[in-house]
Amino acid sequence: MKFQYGTYNNYKARLIVYADICKKMLSDIGIETAKNIDFEIEMQENLWGLTTLCGNDAYVISINYILLDFSYMNEFVKKDKRKCPGLLNTIIHELLHTCKNSMDHGTEWTKNVKKVYEKYGIEIHETDSNKRKGIPNDFYIDYLPYALKCKKCGALFGYYNENEIPNIKKNYCGACAGKLIRIK
């Protein structure tokens, strides 16, 4: 995998800087995250973030590399934390899973999400779309080497590997069931 803005280690170093910002934001409002957290770069385009419990209060948080690319290109984090919804809300979402009794999207996790919103105005959701992450569809399509488009509703679908592209004769748009065409 070739990264657009440096090496895997560059990406991980940036991720750790942003994660430290997010941990401090949570600490400042009384939310205690786990102490033993390792961060990784997620390579799957369809997964924004993932928290894995690896043992006794030890976690691995994976964050999608596209969120790091997008924040880097637009320098959102330097200007205003709330204008980088994808990167910061994903890191905070995953950090909240390391809090006591919060591995699921249950009562404790939801209570902490509310605290974050009340203090910082950052919306955290259980699942998110490109749009809510602040990533327009055309960015995804321009960034990835393979793309499909729905003839009916215009939805765009980007793929990094050619073998991930669904058979367009057998598959239809998930939004409207329209016919898919390959655009690149």
| pLDDT tens string 160-182 | 677 777 776 777 776 688 888 88
CATH class of 8-120: alpha beta
Tokens (6 digits) for 159:
């793929």
Tokens (6 digits) for 80:
């205003």
Nearest to 64 by CA among 138, 135, 117: 135
In three-state secondary structure terms, 36 is strand
Q: Are 18 and 87 a contacting pair, CB within 8 Å? A: yes
**Residue ranges per structural domain of the chain:** 8-120, 140-182
pLDDT, one tens digit per residue, over 130-156 is 666 666 666 666 667 888 888 888 877
User: What is the predicted pLDDT for the residue at 64?
Assistant: 86
- Would you tell me the crossing angle of helices 8-28 and 65-74 to the nearest 10 degrees? 80
